[in-house]
Amino acid sequence: MGAAIVDGIARFAQIAAEVASRVGPRKTPTLGILAAAELAALPGTVPITPDGVAVLAVAQPGEETGIAWTGDSRVYGWDGEQLVQRSTDHTVGQYLRVNGIPVELAKEHDNWIRCSLGRASVATVHFARIADPLVLLTSDGVPDGIPHAELERLVREHRGEPQALADAIVAATRGNEEGYRDDATVVVLAQPRMDGTPGC
């Protein structure tokens, strides 16, 4: 089973997410993201339109969940006790943090995306396997609009009901100081049962 979020222009995002979620389970999560990237790739064109960022999870019974991403959409895993961010944002702000720049200065650059589908390559699509029985895929509007502790509380309360959890997260997302509320998209993926019944 594959599930993807593409944060971008509506029609493009829908098609790219479908491509990623169809190709990922048959090939690999990385190839799923790269297949979606082909819809946006226009070498030599700046800016690239349409474009977006993407995250994909592929799960099958008895196996760890494969995840791949490019950009600042996120993957979280619930291990039964805590919610852990399993992806790393591909932003200038995160790059600065990793390289020792003070957190307050780095935060000012969190909206600058370093990687996107339009510029995706094998080198810019990151891949990991995670053992968490519950996986959340989110657009950047979720972490921007909900503190991590509140997000973890919602997961703890609704962990057995994937749709109720997704609805609760979207409803809890708030705007910033200026009143701007970014799009909040959530997919909750529960590890499929051994009989193949989806957990999404």
* pLDDT range class, residue 198, cuts 50, 70, 90: low
For residue 18, pLDDT beyond 90: yes
What pLDDT was estimated at residue 3?
Answer: 97
Distance CA 94, CA 98 (A): 6
SS3 116: coil
pLDDT at 195: 55
CA–CA gap between residue 116 and residue 48 (Å, rounded): 10
As a whole-number percent, the residues of the chain with pLDDT over 90 amount to 73
What pLDDT, on a 0 to 100 scale, did the predictor assign at position 9? 86
How would residue 128 be classed by pLDDT, with cut points 50, 70 and 90?
very high
* pLDDT value at residue 191: 76
For the CA atoms of 165, 125, 9, 167, the dihedral, rounded to the nearest 10 degrees, stands at 0
70 forms beta bridges with 54
Helical segments of 64-145, H only: 92-98, 103-107, 141-145
pLDDT, tens only, 87-116: 999 999 888 998 999 988 898 998 888 999
Q: What is the pLDDT of residues 36-69, one digit of tens each?
A: 999 986 665 556 678 999 999 999 988 999 999 9
**7 has a pLDDT exceeding 80:** yes
**Whole-prediction pTM value?**
0.89
End-to-end alpha carbon distance in the chain: 9
DSSP H stretches of helix in 71-161: 92-98, 103-107, 141-145, 148-158
Alpha-carbon gap, residue 140 to 127, rounded angstroms? 18
Asked if 120 and 39 touch (Cβ cutoff 8 Å), the reply is: no
Which pLDDT value is given to residue 107?
87
Query: What confidence score (pLDDT) does residue 47 get?
Result: 61
